[in-house]
Amino acid sequence: MRSRLLAKGADLVQRHGFNATGVQDIALAASVPKGSFYSYFDSKDAFGTEIASEYWFEISNNYGKFLEDKNINPYRRICLHFEGLVDYHRDHGFAIGCLIGNLALEVSFSSEPMRRRLFGLFDEWTRLLADCIGDAQVRGEIASQDSASELAASLIDAFEGAVMRAKVERTDRALLRFQEQSLPRLLA
């Protein structure tokens, strides 16, 4: 039942937003009584924290694995990571955006627990990407001697902005610009 609440609720939040999705909507979509929601989550904010964590788990399992594949050169791993993410957004018609980014925009001022969790997820993504960037710098694939963490954060910031714009435009233009211009320039 908990998994169903998370899956159905995350889908609603992605399509309609966190604030526009009520507990009753989540329970109805999951075909469970509303009171059951509170058997699994102390609050709607606790639920929001969980769906963000579940989303990151899925994304990191599907696309983070590229960053850790030592059989591929580091620069190529970074490109594959972002290619996979672009494909994910393409598969969803560019309509849903990034759940972590969406939640960050919507709740970072209204829910401190969710803001902290989202901060942690961005930090985790930054560390994962920075490790790969550091490997590429050591191998001479990235000439920049800028901090690998700062480069990683800049890539994530640029990518999240491209995802947001792709969501508005419902095309891949912003994501292609990221891949063709931002990514190579930041990693030059």
Q: Which residues contact 187 (CB under 8 A, 6 or more apart)?
A: 75, 78, 133, 136, 142, 144, 151, 155
Q: What is the pLDDT along the chain (188 residues), one digit of tens a residue?
A: 999 999 999 999 999 999 999 999 999 999 999 999 999 999 999 999 999 999 999 999 999 999 999 999 999 999 999 999 999 999 999 999 999 999 999 999 999 999 999 999 999 999 999 999 999 999 999 999 999 999 999 999 999 999 999 999 999 999 999 999 999 999 99
Walk me through the domains of the chain, giving residue ranges and CATH numbers.
1-41 (1.10.10.60), 43-186 (1.10.357.10)
- pLDDT tens across 53-103, in order? 999 999 999 999 999 999 999 999 999 999 999 999 999 999 999 999 999
Q: What percentage of the chain carries pLDDT values higher than 90? A: 100
What single-letter amino acid sits at 103? L
pTM as predicted: 0.94
Residue pair 55/100 in contact by the 8 Å Cβ criterion: yes
What pLDDT sits at residue 143? 94
